[in-house]
């Protein structure tokens, strides 16, 4: 296969940061190529150069099907058949699924009247490729994050597609949905369409890739066939470091429950949920998306009041009517959807990191101690290995993974006694994941009770004292992680 795309001498400088350094990259027709690297390594910048969103420094050369460009505009990229699915979705929540999918077709005719029959046909044809069976007339705003992700992917299949770039596309998908996505990629390959796949999930990289390009600190480290790599080698290439994940230390004695729910019920979301978390215990909750995990977490945090049931904090019954009450009780919640619930994109990083503890930096005269505030924000950045150019830069300038770390940092700043983590490592690279895991275990050792919600089975099995399986709004199984736990969950619940 000849190269579809060749990129040479790609450089990009921002104030204080060289995002890309003399990058050379190539992709063949019909090739499935994985681009891997840590947060802030330059992956997203390289994708944005290829999609026309970012203009490289002078001297760059981009060759697409023999046509030479010094840089691409967004329209150039679209005209060359390049479509990108970014980590952060770009859908219209007030429009239907079919309207979102067929959005780029509206300009195909000069008529001011929308051909709804054509919209419906083209949308259904694209949905069929990926196996999306949702009613195309449903509003996108009513869908789960996983369903919205699939709509975004399906939309890219409409029109003249030659290269599909997927930036962390499976972060919110179940294994069944991942399988459907991979099947769609293979179908595209049969039609000569290339795919560029970005993921922090090792198993997915080895499963789907024909080639793997590793980028670190803005430079290409190498291009490898998957057969030459394993988890350990790939992690080392991405980070320059090696590490091992250790299970949490056993809880000594019986420290008592810090959190308990009894028969907690919310119609249509979860039913009769009774769980407990001891001081210093990490309890994992897993299960397929839509099982009610997030709804349960939001109920404990006071943002989704249950219809019935009871919540006890340190043995005392509490009516957690709002997140303000929850915070006063020492509960913190790191949400799954960072964009709508976790960050203020246009505000400076320092504002985002300290917004939960604003009063901490105000002295008795009502004046802000900026030196103390900046010092503590800087310490948060160091503790969570965040890559930033400046504390005063807008939050939107950070990669998705670094934004996620910022959300975690701002809630840890409240020094909670109960920490609820809803998919806390989505979009975070393997080295940063390990730092988060180690931090969670250290917090547990200090007596914090932690709920870790994740659909990554190995994540909960490797980092939790107990694991609960949630299915259709109910807790249906409990286990203590052991050598055969992954196989057990796969056999019983098809979780893996």
Task: Check pLDDT > 80 for residue 288.
Answer: no
**Has residue 46 been placed in a domain?**
yes
**Has residue 246 been placed in a domain?**
no
Q: By the 8 A CB rule, do 488 and 286 touch?
A: no
The alpha carbons of the chain give a radius of gyration, in whole angstroms, of: 23
**Residue 120, Cβ density class (10 Å: 0-12 exposed, 13-18 middle, ≥19 buried):** middle
- The pair of structure tokens assigned to 250 is 């056993």
**Has residue 245 been placed in a domain?**
no
- The reply to whether 289 and 154 lie within a common domain is no
Task: Check pLDDT > 80 for residue 339.
Answer: no
- In this prediction, residue 7 has a pLDDT band, given cuts at 50, 70 and 90, of very high
- The pair of structure tokens assigned to 116 is 């709804």
- Mean predicted confidence (pLDDT) in 432-450: 89
Range of the domain at 448: 257-493
Q: Which of 172, 204, 239 is the last residue of a domain?
A: 239
- Mean predicted confidence (pLDDT) in 402-417: 89
List the CATH number of the domain containing 416: 3.40.50.300
- Mean predicted confidence (pLDDT) in 43-65: 94
pLDDT digits (tens, 9 = 90+) for 194-217: 999 888 788 888 999 999 999 999
CA 103 to chain CA mean position, Å: 25
- The reply to whether 168 and 290 lie within a common domain is no
- The reply to whether 76 and 202 lie within a common domain is yes
- The reply to whether 183 and 317 lie within a common domain is no
Q: Which of 239, 270, 288 is the last residue of a domain?
A: 239
**Has residue 428 been placed in a domain?**
yes
- The reply to whether 224 and 278 lie within a common domain is no
Task: Check pLDDT > 60 for residue 496.
Answer: no
**Which residues sit opposite 452 in a β-bridge?**
284, 421
- In this prediction, residue 85 has a pLDDT band, given cuts at 50, 70 and 90, of confident
- The reply to whether 15 and 142 lie within a common domain is yes
pLDDT digits (tens, 9 = 90+) for 169-188: 777 676 777 887 888 889 88
Q: Which residues contact 474 (CB under 8 A, 6 or more apart)?
A: 270, 271, 272, 273, 292
The pLDDT value given to residue 1: 56
pTM of the model: 0.72
- In this prediction, residue 493 has a pLDDT band, given cuts at 50, 70 and 90, of confident
- The reply to whether 175 and 267 lie within a common domain is no
pLDDT digits (tens, 9 = 90+) for 219-257: 999 999 999 998 888 888 888 877 777 889 989 888 899
Candidate ranges 105-119, 226-240, 480-494; pick with highest mean pLDDT: 226-240
The pLDDT value given to residue 373: 93
**Has residue 92 been placed in a domain?**
yes
- Mean predicted confidence (pLDDT) in 460-486: 92
Percent of the chain with pLDDT over 90: 52
- The reply to whether 413 and 461 lie within a common domain is yes
Domain tally, the chain = 2
- The reply to whether 320 and 382 lie within a common domain is yes
- Mean predicted confidence (pLDDT) in 64-69: 94
CA separation for the pair 386, 188 (Å, rounded): 36
- The reply to whether 261 and 231 lie within a common domain is no
Indicate the length of the chain as a whole number.
496
- The reply to whether 121 and 93 lie within a common domain is yes
**Has residue 251 been placed in a domain?**
no
């Amino acid at each position: 296969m000849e190269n579809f795309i060749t990129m040479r001498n790609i450089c990009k400088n921002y104030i204080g940061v060289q995002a890309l350094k003399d990058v050379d990259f190539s992709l063949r027709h019909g090739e499935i190529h994985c681009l891997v690297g840590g947060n802030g390594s330059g992956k997203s910048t390289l994708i944005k150069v290829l999609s026309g969103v970012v203009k490289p420094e002078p001297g760059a050369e981009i060759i697409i099907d023999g046509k030479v460009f010094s840089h691409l505009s967004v329209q150039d990229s679209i005209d060359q058949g390049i479509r990108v699915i970014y980590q952060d979705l770009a859908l219209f929540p007030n429009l239907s699924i079919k309207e979102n999918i067929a959005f780029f077709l509206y300009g195909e005719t000069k008529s001011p009247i929308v051909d709804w029959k054509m919209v419906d046909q083209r949308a259904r044809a694209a949905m069929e490729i990926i196996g999306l069976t949702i009613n195309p007339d449903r509003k996108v705003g009513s869908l789960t994050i996983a369903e919205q992700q699939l709509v975004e992917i399906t939309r890219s299949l409409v029109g003249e597609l030659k290269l599909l770039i997927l930036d962390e596309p499976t972060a919110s998908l179940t294994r069944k949905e991942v399988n459907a996505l991979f099947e769609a990629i293979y179908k595209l390959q049969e039609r000569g369409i290339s795919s560029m796949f970005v993921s922090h999930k090792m198993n997915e990289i080895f499963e789907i890739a024909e080639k793997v390009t590793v980028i670190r600190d803005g430079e290409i480290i190498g291009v490898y066939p998957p057969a030459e790599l394993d988890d350990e080698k790939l992690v080392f290439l991405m980070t320059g470091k090696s590490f091992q994940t250790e299970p949490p230390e056993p809880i000594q004695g019986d420290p008592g429950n810090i959190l308990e729910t009894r028969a907690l019920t919310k119609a249509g979301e979860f039913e009769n949920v009774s769980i407990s978390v001891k001081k210093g215990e990490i309890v994992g909750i897993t299960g397929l998306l839509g099982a009610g995990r997030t709804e349960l977490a939001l109920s404990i945090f006071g943002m989704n009041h249950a219809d019935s049931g009871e919540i006890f904090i340190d043995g005392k019954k509490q009516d957690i009517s709002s997140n303000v009450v929850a915070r006063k009780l020492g509960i913190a919640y790191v949400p799954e959807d960072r964009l709508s619930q976790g960050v203020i994109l246009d505000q400076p990083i320092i504002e985002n990191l300290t917004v939960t503890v604003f009063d901490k930096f105000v002295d008795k005269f009502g004046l802000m101690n900026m030196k103390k505030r900046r010092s503590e924000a800087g310490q948060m950045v160091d503790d969570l290995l965040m890559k930033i150019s400046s504390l005063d830069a807008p939050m939107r300038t950070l990669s998705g993974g670094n934004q996620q770390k910022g959300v975690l940092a701002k809630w840890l700043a409240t020094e909670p006694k109960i920490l609820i983590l809803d998919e806390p490592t989505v979009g975070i690279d393997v080295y940063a994941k390990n730092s988060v895991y180690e931090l969670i275990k250290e917090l547990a050792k200090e007596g914090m009770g932690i709920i870790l919600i994740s659909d990554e089975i190995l994540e909960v099995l490797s980092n939790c004292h107990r694991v609960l399986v949630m299915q259709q709004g109910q807790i249906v199984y409990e286990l203590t992680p052991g050598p055969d736990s992954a196989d057990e969950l796969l056999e019983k619940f098809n979780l893996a």
